[in-house]
């Protein structure tokens, strides 16, 4: 099969990032789950994350978890998406822990686990403000009372998520809610929780500053470990590498063209009405990469003089007027990826994945 573009993946840099995140978190008594959903749990990358010393893995897709088990990955795996009621058998069979917020699903997990001779561990998710998944704070105690009555279930702890839907930033106050709830559960019900899972990459900043509440002892890290960035806090993490993934695409046209189309403008192929500024004749390039291949808004040209003008399903149009080198048909242009870009590129069957380890390209 011929590929029009490729994603170059430096496994050593991913291992380095994983090891640094683990080092920083372990100093504060926080275990690290390496989140694999951002790269579709590609086995070579999973291995690099594990070599970095993470305490376990986490993924939101049962399909990925099942594939990892079939690949022989025996590390503990947490399911990061609330289980489907229709899929509780797979959840119990393939994952060690699942996050939950629905008592009906927890009961079904318990029945299934008991029938299979297991006890399935769960983390009860608490909504502390982001309005994604989770029990509302005032209902947590009642939920725990119900959960402890379910045979086949072990309540491992509490967890929360921030930044993914509402964009809410982790702070001492909202993470400390988990700590206070754990104290309340112990005082009222006599139950000591093992895990307080305080979010993902966006919580790393609190760890760095020494401001994360005592008692938060788990983070689920994906973006920071992979890309060395923290989208929620709008920053590059300066102690991590941010170039482990490079997307390259071939130039299939390079010509001087006007900056504004001629004729009456309607909607483009995706139903949008494009707008253009008249800045004269520009040198433009088209690369063999489009919206069917990757999420275009998740790409960043590595040359600051290249501007992405837009894309159709098959072509991405670039302004290369100010680029210092000559660009010809057949040349390649390189792009960094954001987390959203990595999500789409990793699962695109039109983008070849190539791996580098110990300064050598792997076959």
d(CA 191, CA 164): 30
Known catalytic residue at 291: no
Other beta carbons less than 10 A from residue 261's beta carbon: 10
d(CA 239, CA 13): 12
Partnered with residue 317 across adjacent β-strands are 286, 310
Of 292, 287, 331, nearest to 307 (Cα)?
Answer: 287
Q: What Å distances lie between residue 28 and 162, 180, 182, 312, 314, CA to CA?
A: 20, 19, 19, 47, 47
Of 13, 15, 20, 37, which one is the catalytic site residue?
Answer: 37
d(CA 350, CA 2): 9
Active-site residues, by number, are: 37
């Amino acid at each position: 099969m011929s590929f029009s573009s490729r994603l170059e993946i430096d496994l050593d840099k991913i291992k380095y990032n994983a090891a640094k995140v683990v080092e920083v978190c372990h100093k504060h008594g926080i275990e690290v789950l390496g989140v694999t959903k951002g790269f579709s749990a590609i086995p070579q990358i999973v291995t690099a994350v594990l070599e970095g010393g993470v305490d376990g893995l986490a993924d939101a897709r049962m399909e990925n978890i099942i594939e990892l088990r079939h690949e022989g990955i025996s590390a503990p795996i947490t399911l990061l998406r609330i289980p489907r009621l229709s899929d509780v058998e797979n959840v119990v069979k393939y994952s060690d822990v699942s996050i939950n917020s629905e008592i009906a699903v927890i009961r079904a997990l318990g029945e299934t686990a008991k029938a299979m001779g297991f006890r399935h561990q769960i983390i009860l998710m608490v909504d502390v403000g982001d309005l994604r998944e989770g029990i509302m704070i005032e209902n947590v105690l009642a939920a725990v009372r119900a959960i402890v009555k379910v045979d086949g279930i072990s309540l491992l702890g509490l967890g929360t998520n921030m930044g993914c839907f509402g964009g809410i930033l982790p702070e001492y106050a909202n993470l400390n809610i988990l700590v206070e709830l754990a104290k309340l559960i112990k005082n009222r019900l006599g139950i000591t929780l093992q895990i307080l899972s305080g979010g993902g990459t966006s919580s790393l900043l609190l760890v760095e500053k020494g401001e994360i509440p005592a008692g938060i002892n788990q983070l689920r890290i994906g973006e920071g470990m992979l890309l060395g960035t923290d989208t929620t806090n709008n920053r590059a993490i300066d102690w991590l590498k941010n170039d482990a993934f490079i997307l390259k695409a071939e130039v299939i046209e390079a010509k001087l063209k006007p900056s504004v189309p001629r004729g009456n403008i309607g909607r483009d192929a995706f139903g949008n009405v494009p707008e253009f500024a008249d800045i004269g004749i520009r040198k433009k390039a088209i690369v063999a990469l489009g919206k069917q291949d990757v999420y275009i808004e998740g790409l960043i040209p590595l040359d600051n003089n290249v501007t992405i003008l837009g894309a159709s399903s098959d072509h991405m149009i670039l302004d290369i007027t100010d680029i210092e080198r000559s660009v010809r048909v057949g040349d390649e242009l390189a792009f960094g990826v954001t987390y959203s870009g990595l999500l789409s590129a990793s699962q695109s069957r039109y983008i070849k994945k190539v791996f580098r380890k110990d300064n050598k390209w792997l076959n």
